[in-house]
Amino acid sequence: MEDSSPTPPPSPKDFPMQFHGSASEYFKIWIVNLALTVLTLGIYYPWAMVRTRRYFYANTELDSHRFDYLADPKKMLKGYLLIYTAIILYVLGMNNIISPFIGFIVIMALIALGPFLMAASLRFRHHNTSYRNVRFKFLGRTSDAYAVYWGYALLTYITLGIMFPIFRLKIYEYIFDNSSLGKTPFSYKGEGGPMYTIFLSALGLMIAIAAIFMTPIIVFGIFQSGNVEEGAAATDPMFFLIMGSIYLVYFIGFAFISGFIRAKTLRYNLSVLTLGYEKDVSFKSDLNVWKFVWLNFTNIFATFFSLGLLSAWAKVRATKMVLSSISVVSQQGDLGSHESVNETDQSATGEAAVDAMDFDVGF
């Protein structure tokens, strides 16, 4: 593998990412694991989760080497049980079935521990992801997680959302800048300007969608409300029709905007990400934003109307489009040699927590 002969300066080379997963194969794996999870009342879930996630990692190829996911389900089970208990206590408390005070304490504990769990989750996830037999590593400090997830969240709240793009930027910075492949560090040089461009255009789109769809509904609603007797509004068929339309617009808008933001941030984040001490490995994605928006849109509808059955197909389809848009560019002409770090296994509670609480991490 090592080539030490004094050759002329190497020319940059592109390494495209490839995804080999197939929708039908993944569907079978997913549904069997889902059935096992349901029949064991959820106990099997960590095994199913590791297996389905590993399917995606092990089918991802870069420079003819595969990625891998190495997490131990047994370690995650404890974390999941803990988090599920917390969620159940919270929901029961909020519905007055047990003392609301217990629910309150649980949610306060989750909020207090949130950044800690986030950092723990990233450590666990990175530690269990490998490429060419080298594990990734996450070096972010827990105190920095508090600064980002509490500090910037608070700032966003105080400024009525104006700081939101900066909040997102700080999250990406925290995740990417603290990542490494073995001992080789990633570095992330994102800036506020482009982030604002992404979120402001998303906001513009949202307003446009709302204007196009909502105007007729509102006009219709005002027109109709003249005919409705006082007090009868809640049971009036018109009320249902209007609520239904608002719901549908929200659904369409959500499907549209979420795809737009994901595609735009992916493209931007990869363009400012590098790997290596010399930053000689860079990344790029030529993901077509509108194609991805359409794919995301159709995926959400297909999943919804198939009652979840098509979610396996949707996931493979999205992964294929995203991964095949990414390529890794090396100034040296190869992806370099990476040394791994010796370390003990990471706790899985954070991973389980973040997974259960449905956080949106990175891409």
Told to check if 212 binds another protein by CB under 8 A, we report no
The count of residues interacting with another protein (CB under 8 A) is: 70
324 closest CA partner among 295, 350, 301, 357:
295
Residue type at position 77:
L
Which stretch in 153-161, 162-170, 231-239, 267-275 sits in contact with another protein by CB under 8 A? 231-239
Task: Identify which of residues 217 and 241 has a Cβ nearer to another protein in the complex.
Answer: 241
DSSP summary character for residue 160: T
Residue 43 is a binding residue for another protein (CB under 8 A): no
DSSP state, residue 235: G
Nearer to another protein, 39 or 158 (CB): 39
End-to-end CA distance of the chain: 32
Phi, psi of 168, rounded to the nearest 5 degrees = -60, -45
User: 275-334: which residues touch another protein (CB under 8 A)?
Assistant: 300, 303-304, 308-309, 311
Q: How far is the CB of 158 from another protein (least distance, A)?
A: 25
Alpha-carbon gap, residue 203 to 162, rounded angstroms = 12
- With contacts defined by CB under 8 A, name the span among 7-15, 57-65, 142-150, 152-160 that binds another protein: 57-65
What is d(CA 269, CA 128) in angstroms, rounded to the nearest whole number? 22
- The distance of closest approach from Cβ of residue 177 to another protein in the complex, given in angstroms and rounded to an integer, is 21
Q: Are 319 and 56 in contact (CB under 8 A)?
A: yes
Calpha distance 319→337 (Å, rounded)? 27
Q: Pick from 201, 338, 350: which is nearest to 277 by CA?
A: 338
Stretch that binds another protein, among 83-91, 188-196, 264-272, 322-330 (CB under 8 A): 83-91
Q: Does 65 bind another protein (CB under 8 A)?
A: yes
The closest alpha carbon to 345, from 128, 133, 145, belongs to: 128
Contacts with another protein, residue ranges (CB under 8 A): 1, 20-22, 25-29, 31-36, 38-39, 42, 51, 54-55, 58-59, 65-66, 68, 84, 87-88, 91-92, 95-97, 131-134, 181-182, 231-232, 234-237, 240-241, 247, 250-251, 254, 258, 300, 303-304, 308-309, 311, 336-340, 342, 355-358, 360
